[in-house]
Every structure is written in C-alpha cells, then in structure tokens.
Amino acid sequence: MDDRRYIQVILPLRLEWEPYYSVPDGIQVQIGDRVRVPMVNASYIGTVSAVDVIPDIDERSILPIISFEENLPRILPEEIRFWKAISEYYLCTIGEVYKAIYLSMKLEVQDAEIRERVRLRLQKKLASLQEKAKKTKKEDKREEYLNEILKLKANALTDTKEHPSIRTITLSPVQTVVSKQIGAAFSMNKTVLLHGVTGSGKTEVYLNLAHETIALGKSVLFLVPEIALSRQLEDRIKSVCPDVLVFHSKETFLQRRQVAITVRDSNCYFVLGTRSALFLPHHNLGLIIVDEEHDTSYKQDAPAPRYNARESAIMLGVIQKAHVILGSATPSLESLYNAEIKRFIKVELKERFHSGEEAEIRIIDTVAERRKRGMTGSFSRKLIQEITDALDDGGQVLVLRARRSYAPSVQCTECGKIPRCPHCHVPMSLHRNPDRLVCHYCGHTEPYTGRCPSCDGELQPLGAGTQKVEEELNSLFPTRRIARLDGDTPDTEEAGIIRSFAEGEIDILVGTQIITKGFDFDRLSLVAVLQADSLMGQLDFRADERAFQLLEQFRGRSGRRGKPGRIVIQTREPEHPVYARLSGSDDADLLAERRLFGYPPFTRLVHITLKDSNEKRLEFLSKDLRNALLAAF
C-alpha cells in the first residue's frame, strides 16, 4: 500500500496547473512552506499551496520533492490569496504572478548565511574593540573605543527596530474636516476617493492617516506612480518618518531584498514604493495609499501579470482588512463612476493649502503665429516673452515636450524615405551625444551618419524632441541655467536634477511627462507645453481624458505658496474641448460619452496581441481566433 503524502506546489512558471509532489516520511509540510522540486530537467524553489491532497493523476508519475527549504521563510496565506486573486482577475497563471516576485526571493536561501556572517563579524569587531579598550592606557583612546562599541550596539538594535516613528502632522481646518470624513468612510469599510485640487495638501492628509495607523500598531503602504516622484516624496516623508522603507526598481537588488526582509520580519512598517511594492510580504496592513490614482504608470503591460496597481491595491486591502484611499487632483473616470454608484466614497479637498490662486491659462495658436512669423523654432515669441518675464521676476520655468530624443524622426530630402526600425517598422528617433537612431518600441539602435541609406541624400530632422528643445532654450537664454529630465536622463542624475530645481539651482527644466507629476517646487511660476496636440493624437479612447489629466496636473505645479502661477499651451487647435475643460471640467459629459459609445467603465475591453515569426501562420491563427470568438458570442 502506498502511504506517500502528496502536496501541490506553485512554481515560477507559466503552468495552468499546480503540480503534485510526494513528501518523505518525517517531514512536516504546511501551506506556504518552500520546497525545491524537479520540473523538466531542472529544479525550482516553489511554494506549497495544498497539503495532504488526493491526486487526480496516476500516483506513479508523481516525483518526490528534492528538499525542504527550512531556512527560507514561509509564505503567508494572505500572500497566496493575493496571488490567486491577481491571477484570476488578470487572466494569467498563479505561476506567472509568483515569477514576478521570484527574483526578489530567489536569493533568500542566502539570508540565514548572510545574517550569520554579519552577526559573527559584529561579535568579532566588538570583541576586538573591547580588548583594545581594556589594554590601552590612554584615557582618550579608551573613550574612543567605548564610543565605537556603543555605536555598533546601537546600529545592531536599529536593524531590528519594528515600530517606525512618525511625528504628528499639523492640518489646516479644511484638511481636518476632510480627515474626519475619510475616517467615517473607513468605519463603513469603504474605499475612499480623495479628490483634492493641486496644491491642496493631500500629502499632509495621507501622512496624518499614516500616523494614526502606525499609532495603532498597523503597517502602511504608500504607492506612487513614478520613481522620480517617490524620490522627492521620500525626502518629505523622511522629515516626519525617518524609518520609511523605499522600494522600487531603481534601488539595488540587495536594497530591495533588505526591504522585503524588513517587511516580512516587522510587525509594523511604513513602505513607500511604486507598483511592485504591492508584492512585498505584507502583513498587518492597516492603510494603503494610492497617490495620483489616475496615472497610467500604475498599469503593467508586460510581462504577466498585466495588472493595474490601483485595482490590485483594493484587492490587497480586502485580503489584509486594510483601509484604502485613492487620491488625485484629476481622478480617473472609472474611479468617479465607482463613487457615483457608491462603491467608493468621494471626499473633496477644494482649497489650496497655501490659499494660492489657480494658475492662469494662456492658449497660443501656433498656426496663426507662424503666419505672422511669430515663431522661433519650437517657441512662439509670446512664450519667449512669458519665460523672460517669469525669470526676471525670480521665478522658475518648466517646459513640457511629450517626446524625448532630438527629433521624433528624420527624412531624406532627396527620396523622402524615413528610416524605420527593421523589427517594428516604426520611424526611428534621432538622439544626440552620441548621434544615433533609436526605436522607442524595442530599443533597436543604429549609428546616425546624416545620410540616407537608400540614396545617400541628406537626412533632415522632423519635429523637435526634448533634446532639441533644450538646445533651443540654451540658444534663447544663454545666461540661464537649463537642464533636461526625460527617459534618456541617467538614473544617477535624475534625483540630483529634481533636487537642484527644487533648491533654485536650475532656472528652466525641460522634460517629458515625468515633470508633470506631483512635484512641489516653491519658486515655480510658469509651466509651458509645446506641441500640445500630440497629447490628444493618440489612438486610445482615453486620449482626451489623459490629456486633460496631464495638463491639469501640470498646471497645478505652478503658483504654489500663495503666488499666482501661469500655464502657456502652444497648439495648432486652440478650440479643442480639452482646453475648455481646464477652466471648468464636467466629468458627467465624459461619462455620458463613454456610455454612448460603449466604452469602460460601462463595458470591459480586452486587448489581444498575437505574435509569430511566421506571417502566414499568424494570419491563419488570427482568423481562427476571430471565428472562435464570434462563435462564443
């Protein structure tokens, strides 16, 4: 009689099932334990998802586990529930969800060894210092050794600290009222949508809620859409909570792993991170904050799971029994709809924290300006004067061009050919320093000689990206300090540029959408948008909504600290309804439009992408899928 015990294991593979394995006698296995198992001529560390199961396959084909990884931490039941919720909602396998976080877990096997080595090294150093303090005859040297001993012991204690300190936040009367409204919504276990105008002090409200949560011994997860935004926010949060943990992809692997270890081992913590921070080993969560909830950076398009961090945060909140607050000056229509049907409770913060006025809007028609020769490169003379006035008044300027590179494309002046990516067949962008053509879809790069590969004619740049705009600004304002922030900015320089601008060391900062995020710059008085039409020219039913959100967010960057601000928009279509909404939006109209044309949130859309190296096979399979879908519906 076969008395083997069987388990099911989640592996970091795209499997439609959770394979069975047998467990040797004498080994007690629980759900969440880590085991090393064989799979197709390789071995993987997986997570036990079920124990003492009765297999529905031939038991003779079930292999035994290779080893029980007792020095790896057990995965919490809440984590497995979250993985399963993500896989079911986003139509992927639980193995793909596990794989998404597997990289941050695969070296955990070394944790025990690393900790032991650190402990032994610490003991050795302490013993050495104690011996030196005992032997020295000089009082000042003995004092020095004793201070080092105290410092080492203090650091060792700090590493195991479990309760972050966060000081009380002083709120304005309006913020106090809003916080009470949020508390009332939380008492009903409702997700809160905080609709706060730019500059209204949403961050102070968040931090006050975080203070209350940590005071109750609960943990806090604070999500932001962009790494650059998390870096400025990190400075603000550390001023009130020095123990905040930061987690995003630009942190080193060891730093991220240390955050994961701290989260797993602490009963109370405060994490600031981008969307990947959702998959940390959370427990005892009391509050999840999703700042700038409308931002498209919360959506992961590839690889699987293709999740939206906003929706996933709500799932995590349900599993962890944590309160969830979504905040934005320009909430997504989906969130506004959820508030309309009472799934969320909407709370409004309409007053700016420093009582500043909303930035004045000026629309410049570039078609009309070109007719009367009022343009100098990418800049109208009117905008040049606006920038000059702002700088002369001691202010700073942000210039948005929603396209990185020197030029979006180049064209031969002889044959008219536009160089395209050999893999994606899209026009390649011209980059300077060094000169090269780059595909912004797949990253393919080619040297740029300035000559057409077909006829050797001269290649002429078309349009202007952020690199060219920066060059033009340096020509127009040679005595001013100008910098650029976009996808080509080295990671090592990004945080320094933001801090330099915040401290007034840069006069004009040009960049892509990254500069429109929730930064807070005291001296910023003018923001300008070049070629704004490109924001609406996307093949996406959300294009107008996203353009409005971006422009409104960008508008809110200026005029802080009680000073009037200004936004100047250069466009070929000054009558576009998006610009009209900036001075008085009506979300009901946009929702009615979505309902009329059958778009979300009133329907659900699925985008299916088929890829194959064989074009004929791809065409055949595409038709086959089309017919199957038609038959199903």
List residues bridging with 375 in a β-sheet.
Answer: 380
Residue 249 has pLDDT above 90, yes or no: no
CA distance 115 to 335: 45
The 8-class DSSP code of residue 31 comes to T
Cα distances (Å, whole numbers) of residue 413 to 439, 452, 572: 21, 9, 25
Cα 400 → chain centroid: 20
Q: Among 123-137, 287-301, 417-431, 577-591, where is mean pLDDT lowest?
A: 577-591
Tell me the percentage of the chain whose pLDDT exceeds 70. 91
Q: What is the residue whose two structure tokens read 């936004």?
A: 567
When pLDDT is averaged across residues 213-239 and rounded to a whole number, the result is: 86
Residue 320 has pLDDT above 60, yes or no: yes
- HEC profile for 71-127? CCCCCCHHHHHHHHHHHHHCCCCHHHHHHHHHCCCCCHHHHHHHHHHHHHHHHHHHH
pLDDT digits (tens, 9 = 90+) for 156-202: 544 444 578 888 888 999 999 999 999 999 999 999 999 998 878 89
When pLDDT is averaged across residues 497-515 and rounded to a whole number, the result is: 92
Q: What is the residue whose two structure tokens read 């409770």?
A: 345
Residue 324 has pLDDT above 80, yes or no: yes
Residue 277's pLDDT band (boundaries 50, 70, 90)? very high
Show the tokens assigned to 315.
Answer: 């799932």
CB within 8 A of 257, min separation 6: which ones? Answer: 104, 107, 108
Show the tokens assigned to 353.
Answer: 């924290």
What is the domain partition of the chain in residue ranges?
A: 5-106, 110-159, 173-349, 360-591
State the pLDDT at residue 356.
59
Cα distances (Å, whole numbers) of residue 12 to 16, 40, 260, 302, 593: 12, 13, 18, 16, 42
Cα distances (Å, whole numbers) of residue 434 to 448, 484, 607: 9, 16, 37
State the pLDDT at residue 109.
47
State the pLDDT at residue 160.
45
List residues bridging with 459 in a β-sheet.
Answer: 412
Which residue from 305, 146, 166 is spatially nearest to 222, judged by alpha carbons? Answer: 166
Q: Does domain 5-106 bear CATH number 3.40.1440.60?
A: yes
Pick the most confident of 275-279, 322-326, 514-518: 322-326
Q: Are 182 and 325 in contact (CB under 8 A)?
A: yes
State the pLDDT at residue 116.
56
Q: Which fold has domain 360-591?
A: Rossmann fold (3.40.50)
Pick the most confident of 95-109, 357-371, 466-480: 466-480
List residues bridging with 50 in a β-sheet.
Answer: 8
Domain pair 173-349 / 360-591, same fold: yes
State the pLDDT at residue 87.
96
When pLDDT is averaged across residues 355-373 and rounded to a whole number, the result is: 87
pLDDT digits (tens, 9 = 90+) for 14-53: 999 999 999 988 888 999 999 999 999 999 999 999 999 9
Tell me the percentage of the chain whose pLDDT exceeds 90. 55
Q: Among 149-163, 246-260, 380-394, 538-552, where is mean pLDDT lowest?
A: 149-163
CA distance 204 to 387: 31
pLDDT digits (tens, 9 = 90+) for 540-580: 888 889 999 999 889 888 875 567 789 999 999 998 888 88
Q: Does domain 173-349 bear CATH number 1.10.1060.10?
A: no
List residues bridging with 54 in a β-sheet.
Answer: none
Q: Are 430 and 410 in contact (CB under 8 A)?
A: yes
Neighbours of 423 (CB within 10 A): 11
Helix (H) or strand (E) holding 378: none
Q: What is the residue whose two structure tokens read 């610490």?
A: 122
Residue 381 has pLDDT above 50, yes or no: yes
